[in-house]
Amino acid sequence: MRWGAGYGKKRSNSALKPILIPQLLQIPERNICLPVEDYLPELDTLTPIQGTLWVEHKGTYLAVRAEAKAIVTLACDRCLGQYNHRLALNLEEVIWLREAGAVIDPELEFEAAALLETLPPDGNFDPAQWLYEQVCLAIPPQSLCDAACEGIELEAAATTPLDSRWSVLAQLKTQIRDDCGLI
């Protein structure tokens, strides 16, 4: 996946603009529902991220929920080939509202530790940033085009004239492949 490409030129007419948190209190139900059809900054996805995001003000915290899907292009860790990976997100998160440096009531300490995300009550919630983080977390740490991917083809490697200085490395590579049962 390429990072940092495409920001600006792809993003247009997005509903995912930062929300001023106190403004949520002025909406009767204290919640908003945002359609998502977006390419996110710094995240190169093949398709826009599509879905819905809900934000509700619960007084002392924000309840954020999202359902979204996207296709990301990843590079296989074994064969280095590019492949498309489909992501389906169904997320819920609580963002605690408190001033930076606010004294935490000792009785709330446990709760505070559990609610890691915090924002100042008069600050902004940035749905695009939040979604970006969630999509990054959803990308598998190991990328494989196929569970049975056999890596770079040996025939292709064999047709390449080999500098004798690399022959030891090539042997080692073959040995590792044998040991790992990849053949």
- Contact between 76 and Zn ion by CB under 5 A: the answer reads yes
Of 66 and 145, nearer to Zn ion (C-beta) is 145
- Contact between 145 and Zn ion by CB under 5 A: the answer reads yes
Of 137 and 148, nearer to Zn ion (C-beta) is 148
Asked if residue 45 lies in contact with residue 132, where contact means CB atoms within 8 angstroms, the answer is no
Rounded CA separation 81/146 (Å): 11
Q: Which one of 63, 79, 112, 152 is in contact with Zn ion (CB under 5 A)? A: 79
Asked if residue 71 lies in contact with residue 47, where contact means CB atoms within 8 angstroms, the answer is yes
Span of 32-40, 89-97, 140-148, 174-182 interacting with Zn ion by CB under 5 A: 140-148
- Contact between 135 and Zn ion by CB under 5 A: the answer reads no
Half-sphere exposure of 38 (CA within 13 A, CB side): 26
Per rule CB under 5 A, count of chain residues that contact Zn ion: 5
CA 153 from centre of chain: 31
Of 122 and 153, nearer to Zn ion (C-beta) is 153
| Cα end-to-end distance, the chain, whole Å | 27
- Contact between 78 and Zn ion by CB under 5 A: the answer reads yes
Structure tokens at 38: 């977006």
Query: Least separation, in Å, of the C-beta of 148 and Zn ion?
Result: 9
Q: Write down the residue that tokens 């940033």 correspond to.
A: 129
- Contact between 112 and Zn ion by CB under 5 A: the answer reads no
Q: Which residues bind Zn ion (CB under 5 A)?
A: 76, 78-79, 145, 149
